[in-house]
Amino acid sequence: MGLLSRMVAPVERASAGTPSYGMIPPLGSIQSASGAQISQATAMTVSTVYACVNRLSTDLARCSPYVMGWAKDGSKQKVKHPISKLFKRPNRQQTWFEFDRQMWVGLLLRGNAYAAIRRDYRGNPTELIPINPDAVMVLEAADGSIFYNVNRIGLWQIAMLRDFPVAIPSEDVFHLRGISFNSLVGVSTIGLARDSIGLDMALSQQANRWIANGARPSTWLKTNKVLGDAPARRLKAQFDDLHAGYQNTGKTVLLEDGIEPVALQLTSVDLQFIEQRKMQPEEVCRFYGVPPHKAGIASDTRGASQNLAAQDQDYVNSAVSERAVNFEQRFAWTFGLDEDDLFVERDLSQLLRADVLTRANVSRINILSGKKTQNEERADDGLPPKEGGDRLMMPTNMAAEGSNITGVAPDDNGRPAAGMVGTGDAGTGGTQTTSQDAATASEG
């Protein structure tokens, strides 16, 4: 909003309204069926959640956005725009990669990402200040206005938001939301996945307690004699001191008076517990659309190269691309780029780069098929242009119907009659007689 529009804006707009949030209240948590409290901090302690969030946020932050427009020939081209500088230096503290990754982490965990828009006196955006979704409550006013009530967390954020009101108007907030039930706030992903995440946390904690405390005895002590209370307690204490806990693994136990150790085997319940721990990470991956191998989960190695290549392509087409489109459209809408027939596009080529041999074969095909010039392919690899490399090359065995490979003229243009040959210049239509025809003509 420009300075003039801010001056004439109605002052009777109230910031009070009905709070709206996506499943988990600000600065709060939600309890899972296993009893675990799910919040941003606790969810990230689950290795699968961390792997999915880190992988997606890093990959998306690698795909640099650009302001784009349409050229006269209908092709897309990069446009110099005041907004473009935000894609390099969004604020005085962060690079674009750092800012973008923080925004995606908020979206992937809480279903919402927020950034306050600092403007100059003309209303042009100069900085984007990221805000933790846990610190934001969306307020719906009676007149339909939307405000963002922000709890300032940390001295830096207090300083950066000093000029903003407690309830920031929606035109001064870049709000990237995920799946929403009310069109205003995205539903928290960790809220939807609370039971899956909570079960993973419970299984991990149970396994840790077993190791730390010996929750299930792995060895019985057997004897044919009757032990008194004092010898039994002494023997049990000595055995636990040397046996319980992972730090005592491998220590030697000295038994006396005919006592024999009996090792216990894994029961079906134990085996089911182990299998459940293996399966649970895959369920968490489904909430993010991330292939298991991207989260560090081992998969079948049969046909691994082809299978992983297909999964990587699907990962970019679905998990990455759909979120990139969400950002592109919301950013263009927030800053009014669509009103000027401009748009934002993220460069996904970094994620689609194949291995060196595959890229070389693709470059060769592009050049030989006439799709790209040599210099265009060199530019894609960051190499300088070469003289003569701007010409499109075509295979010699390809030509338009009815023309020779040089494209000078159709083959039947001025074709001489039988016994006649051309003048030597293709397509000139000139003819000359052969020596035999000339001799025949003179005799006549």
Cβ atoms of residues 181 and 105 within 8 Å: no
Q: How far is CA 371 from the centre of its chain?
A: 30
Residue 409 has pLDDT above 80, yes or no: no
C-alpha 331/C-alpha 322 separation (Å) is 14
Structure tokens at 383: 């190499």
What is the arithmetic mean of pLDDT over 319-326? 94
Residue pLDDT, tens place only, 181-195: 888 999 999 999 999
C-alpha 66/C-alpha 342 separation (Å) is 10
Structure tokens at 313: 């392509």
Within a 10 A sphere around the Cβ of 81, how many other Cβ atoms? 18
Boundaries of every domain in the chain: 3-193+314-333, 219-263, 354-398, 405-436
Residue 433 has pLDDT above 90, yes or no: no
Residue pLDDT, tens place only, 238-257: 766 655 554 555 455 555 66
Q: Which residues contact 257 (CB under 8 A, 6 or more apart)?
A: 223, 225
Structure tokens at 304: 């691994």
C-alpha 79/C-alpha 101 separation (Å) is 24
Q: Is the pTM of this model over 0.85?
A: no
Query: Average per-residue pLDDT in the chain?
Result: 78
Longest distance between any two alpha carbons in the chain, whole Å: 143
Cβ atoms of residues 177 and 111 within 8 Å: yes
The closest of 319, 37, 22, 19 to 192, measured between CA atoms, is 22
What is the arithmetic mean of pLDDT over 150-172? 92
What is the arithmetic mean of pLDDT over 88-113? 95
- More confident position, 371 or 417: 371
The dihedral of CA 88, 94, 98, 103: what is its sign? negative
Q: Which residues contact 6 (CB under 8 A, 6 or more apart)?
A: 123
Structure tokens at 2: 């420009």
Of 79-93, 182-196, 299-313, 355-369, the poorest mean pLDDT is in 299-313
What is the arithmetic mean of pLDDT over 388-415? 63
C-alpha 332/C-alpha 224 separation (Å) is 82
